Amino acid sequence: MMIIAGPCVIESEKVVFQVAEELKRLSEIYPEFSFVFKSSFDKANRSSIRSYRGPGLEKGLKILQKVKEELGLRITTDVHETWQVEPVAQIVDIIQIPAFLSRQTDLLVKSAQTGKPVNVKKGQFLAPWDAKNIVEKLKHAGAVDYYITERGTSFGYNNLVVDFRGLVIMSEFTKVIFDATHSVQLPGGAGDRSSGQREFVLPLIRAAVAVGCNGIFMETHPDPDNALSDGPNMLPLSSLQMVVETVQRIRSAVSS
């Protein structure tokens, strides 16, 4: 069971380490989970041209490498273009493909060819069974390990819903991660930026773990209301341990 967590975008080294140190602490309390730190060096799909995107590839990877070396955490971050794959693969343990790019064949193939595990966010526009085509592309390119992450499906304008049947369907051909915080996002819901409903994050996590998944993805921040990206749907860092404890208890109950 993986727990993938971190701030949406790298805002500063201070914020990154504040979250990563909490993740490290929880990894020692819950050794049965595989903790992975996630943050983006560039958010290339922001709603507005004026929105903060991140520190960029070079500076962002240096910060992520420092987290890996000093805390010993596994690392993931997302790539948007094929030229980013090689330098990212030198640092991270898992390469992540954003939902809007989940059908980009060249990006999938290039990522798979690194030999690193690849986690693909299922596009908001895809049915669960469509994800099988993503898996086939990864396998064809020689992927040794891969995941599909459910992050909600477009439901009208500025809204997402989660069809939990999809976790069952996709588990027939891949390992499945549930993205709890992007699933409660309201894309473009605030006009020039996305909004969100973080009050539904924990209920959806409970449901996903009960249905069955191989991991939980959740973005978290020390002060989400003042975060530079995805604040309305991110979890407060102070609640992360409670969420992990909930995952552990439900998983234990389902297993028994």
Which domains, ranges and CATH numbers included, belong to the chain? 2-255 (3.20.20.70)
pLDDT band at 190 (very low <50, low <70, confident <90, very high): confident
Residue range 131-152: average pLDDT? Answer: 97
CA-CA-CA-CA dihedral for 76, 200, 155, 229, to nearest 10: -50
Q: Is pLDDT above 90 for 25?
A: yes
Which residues lie closer than 8 Å to 9 by C-beta, 6 or more apart?
39, 40, 41, 42, 43, 52, 53, 54, 228, 229, 230
Q: What are the CA-CA distances from residue 26 to residues 11, 57, 97, 226, 229 (Å)?
A: 22, 28, 26, 24, 24
More confident site: 246 or 45: 246
* Residue 87 and residue 93 in contact, taking contact as beta carbons nearer than 8 Å: no
Bridge partner list, 95:
77, 118
Is residue 234 predicted with pLDDT exceeding 80? yes
> What token pair was written down for 72?
């010993």
DSSP class of 225: G
Confidence of residue 70 (pLDDT cuts 50, 70, 90): very high
Per-residue confidence (pLDDT) for residue 158, from 0 to 100? 92
How far apart are alpha carbons 229 and 173 in whole angstroms? 33
221: pLDDT strictly greater than 90: yes
Model confidence at 141, pLDDT cuts 50, 70, 90, reads: very high
